[in-house]
């Protein structure tokens, strides 16, 4: 997951760090670095920035939460197929 550091998301946040929780979740949920990269650079939907300065990015295969101030990847999970269809208008 360290290869994601330096990536700039579509929202303009440069990835500076990957939390241990993020790495653990990606491994346990079998989410590839390629799916995470796709989410960061080609999201289906960008969430608003929350009070805790986190932002959710929904991709076709993964949903990522990152801190927009620190550039730290916080957590990740697989995007459900029904949500993907809804966001794609299918």
Tell me the pLDDT tens digit for each residue of 8-20. Answer: 999 999 999 999 9
In the predicted model, what is the mean pLDDT of residues 79-88? 93
What pLDDT score was predicted for residue 1? 79
Report whether 33 contacts 3 (CB < 8 A). yes
pTM of the model: 0.93
What b/e sequence results for 25-46 when a residue is b if at least 16 CB atoms lie within 10 Å of its CB, and e otherwise? bbeeeebeeebbbbbbeebbee
What pLDDT score was predicted for residue 90? 84
Using one digit for the tens of pLDDT, what is the confidence trace for 21-68? 999 999 999 999 999 999 999 999 999 999 999 999 999 999 999 999
Q: Give the structural domain span for 69.
A: 2-88
Report whether 17 contacts 66 (CB < 8 A). no
Task: Give the chain's domain count.
Answer: 1
């Amino acid at each position: 997951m360290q290869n994601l550091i330096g990536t700039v998301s579509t929202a303009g946040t440069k990835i500076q760090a990957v939390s241990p929780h993020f790495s653990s979740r990606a491994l346990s949920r079998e989410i590839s670095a390629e799916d995470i990269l796709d989410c960061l650079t080609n999201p289906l939907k960008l969430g608003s920035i929350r009070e805790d300065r986190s932002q959710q990015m929904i991709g076709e295969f993964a949903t990522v939460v990152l801190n927009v101030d620190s550039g730290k990847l916080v957590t990740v999970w697989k995007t459900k197929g029904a949500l993907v269809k809804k966001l794609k208008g299918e």
